[in-house]
Amino acid sequence: MRVGVVGDLYIDEYVQGRLVGVSPEMPVPRLAECTRTHQLGAAGNVAASFAAMGATVSMFAVIGQDAEGDRARALLGDAGIDASGLQQDAGRVTGTFTRFLAGPGRHYLRLDRENRQPIGVRLRARLLERIAGRLHDLDLLYLSDYDETPERSGCVSPDLVRALVAAAGDRGLPVAASSRLAPAVFAGTTYLFCNRAEARGLGWAPPEPLGAWMTVTREALGVSLLVVTEGEAGLTWTAGDDSGTVPAVPAAVVDPCGAGDALAAVMALALASGSAPGHAARLGARAAAVAIGRAGTVPVTWQDLQASLAVPSGDTAESAAARAPGVTPTAVRHPKFVPMAEMADRLAPFRGSARIVFTNGCFDLLHAGHVALLEAARREGDLLVVGINSDRSTRANKGPGRPVLPEEDRVAILTALEAVDLVTVFDELTPIRLIRQIGPDVLVKGGDYTEDEVVGRDLVEAAGGRVVVFPYQRGWNTRTLIQSLRTASDGTRAG
CATH of the domain at 480: 3.40.50.620
Domain co-membership, 228 together with 347 = no
**CA distances from residue 238 to 217, 264, 267, 278, 446 in whole angstroms, order as listed:** 10, 15, 13, 9, 47
Last residue of a domain, one of 257, 275, 308: 308
The candidate with the shortest Cα–Cα distance to 316, out of 332, 305, 304, 327, is: 332
Domain co-membership, 347 together with 408 = yes
Provide the 8-state DSSP code for 298.
P
**Domain contains 25:** no
Q: For residue 171, what is the domain's CATH number?
A: 3.40.1190.20
Domain co-membership, 261 together with 325 = no
Name the helix (H) or strand (E) containing 357. Answer: strand 356-361
**Domain contains 206:** yes
Per-residue pLDDT at 338: 85
Q: Which residues contact 355 (CB under 8 A, 6 or more apart)?
A: 380, 381, 382, 383, 441, 442
Order of all β-strands in the sheet with 235-239: 82-89, 56-64, 2-7, 140-145, 175-179, 191-195, 225-229, 235-239, 242-246
Domain co-membership, 258 together with 364 = no
Q: Which residues contact 462 (CB under 8 A, 6 or more apart)?
A: none
Domain co-membership, 171 together with 204 = yes
The ranges of the chain with pLDDT < 70 are 103-105, 252, 310-335, 349, 353, 472-495
**Domain contains 20:** no
Per-residue pLDDT at 475: 53
Last residue of a domain, one of 308, 325, 355: 308
Per-residue pLDDT at 25: 92
**CA distances from residue 137 to 173, 175, 266, 389, 426 in whole angstroms, order as listed:** 10, 14, 20, 41, 39
Domain co-membership, 51 together with 184 = yes
**Domain contains 32:** no
Domain co-membership, 302 together with 339 = no
Q: For 254, phi and psi rounded to 5 degrees?
A: -100, -45
- Per the structure, the count of domains in the chain is 2
Domain co-membership, 401 together with 347 = yes
The model's pTM is: 0.65
261 is a catalytic site residue: yes
**Domain contains 138:** yes
Domain co-membership, 118 together with 80 = yes
Beta-bridge mates of residue 337? 423
Report the C-alpha gap between 426 and 315 in whole angstroms.
Answer: 22
Last residue of a domain, one of 243, 277, 308: 308
For residue 143, the enclosing domain spans 2-10+40-94+114-308
**Domain contains 344:** yes
Q: Which of 8, 12, 89, 261 is catalytic?
A: 261
Domain co-membership, 124 together with 235 = yes
**Domain contains 17:** no
**CA distances from residue 337 to 203, 364, 386, 421, 440 in whole angstroms, order as listed:** 45, 17, 10, 9, 17
Domain co-membership, 192 together with 46 = yes
Per-residue pLDDT at 323: 37
Domain co-membership, 335 together with 231 = no
**Domain contains 145:** yes
